[in-house]
Amino acid sequence: MTLTAFDVRAWIEQSVKGAPFPHMHHNTYYDGGLQVKLFNGATPDDRADFHINTVAEFFFQLKGETHVRTLERGRFRDVTIGEGQMYCVPPMIAHRNRRPQGSLGIVIHGPRAADALDSILWYCEACGHLLHRVDYRVVDSSTQVRQFVAEFLAEESRRTCPFCAAVMPSDWGRMDRPEHGPSGSSHT
């Protein structure tokens, strides 16, 4: 591609225009040395899947907020990225992003190693114990995540905490609701 100054506002307008719902998650501008993506809301309010990436992810919030939960040394940590704020998830840190309707942000990360595996994970809301984990090579993250979420929700034994027996509801983070559009959510 030709390297030139790029109009982010025009990118946003074009993306919104092309979508039946005002959301894109995600829309890639450039994925050479850096992957630059636009993410907006709404993700499901009860989105429950966490993500581990082998490379750091840098966030810059253009509009509204993104609510991030990380798991660090066995404890949940909640951070709100406000409009105009930046944030970074280090490599190998599990994180879950919930994006309200109307929010918009850019996420940038470096290339994954050829043999890198991302992970999608669910944790017990009551005690933080790991419920289920899938390691996978990223091909088309939107489609893959959608499939993993559906498989997780379909199986009660996966949603049942082996430590405290709490059961995650079977509709948490469902991506086939009309308000979440045809593409569903995506990682980051």
Closest CA to 39 of 147, 149, 145, 154: 145
Binding residues for Fe ion, rule: CB under 5 A, are 124, 126-127, 129, 161, 163-164, 166
Residue placing its CB nearer to Fe ion in the complex, 79 or 166 = 166
Residue placing its CB nearer to Fe ion in the complex, 92 or 127 = 127
Task: Compute the least distance from the CB of residue 151 to Fe ion, in Å.
Answer: 20
Task: Compute the least distance from the CB of residue 47 to Fe ion, in Å.
Answer: 19
CA distances from 89 to 10, 152, 167, 175 (A): 27, 24, 28, 24
Alpha carbons 84 and 43: distance in angstroms, whole number: 20
Listed in sequence order, the residues at least 6 apart from 188 whose beta carbon sits closer than 8 Å to its beta carbon are: 26, 37, 39, 51, 53, 57, 97, 107, 109
Task: Compute the least distance from the CB of residue 136 to Fe ion, in Å.
Answer: 24
Residue 125: Cβ within 10 Å count: 15
Residue placing its CB nearer to Fe ion in the complex, 19 or 130 = 130
Residue placing its CB nearer to Fe ion in the complex, 6 or 163 = 163
State how beta strands 94-98 and 104-109 pair: unpaired
Residue placing its CB nearer to Fe ion in the complex, 22 or 128 = 128
Task: Compute the least distance from the CB of residue 118 to Fe ion, in Å.
Answer: 24
Alpha carbons 145 and 101: distance in angstroms, whole number: 20
Task: Compute the least distance from the CB of residue 79 to Fe ion, in Å.
Answer: 23
Alpha carbons 59 and 66: distance in angstroms, whole number: 9
- The alpha carbon of 23 is separated from its chain's Cα centroid by a whole number of angstroms, namely 14
